[in-house]
Amino acid sequence: MTLRCIRAMTRRQAEITDTILRFRNLSLDRASFTLYTEKGALRLASKEFQLLEMLMETPDRLFPLSASLKKSGAMTVKQS
């Protein structure tokens, strides 16, 4: 096994085991689609989860609304 393969396997393992995404006082459980706040827990619908996950993964980046909706599949583009 090469060093490159070992590094790739390590990265994948880290991605798989990191099921909790945190940003400030929010925690998003990727395994259960649950958002935890100081006021309690909330189970999210698929689209809600996808949008929130995208925003929490890149908190320093601004997204146009259309790009956010397209990425989550909440908006489709009509082709003429």
Q: What is the pLDDT of residues 30-60, one digit of tens each?
A: 999 999 999 999 999 988 898 888 888 877 7
**Per-residue pLDDT, 36:** 96
Mean local confidence (pLDDT), 8-31: 74
Listed by start position, the domains of the chain span 20-70
Paired residues of 40 in beta bridges = 37
pLDDT band at 29 (very low <50, low <70, confident <90, very high): very high
Does the pLDDT of residue 16 top 50, yes or no? no
Q: How far apart are the first and last CA of the chain?
A: 51
pTM for the full predicted model: 0.59
Mean predicted lDDT score pLDDT of the chain = 75
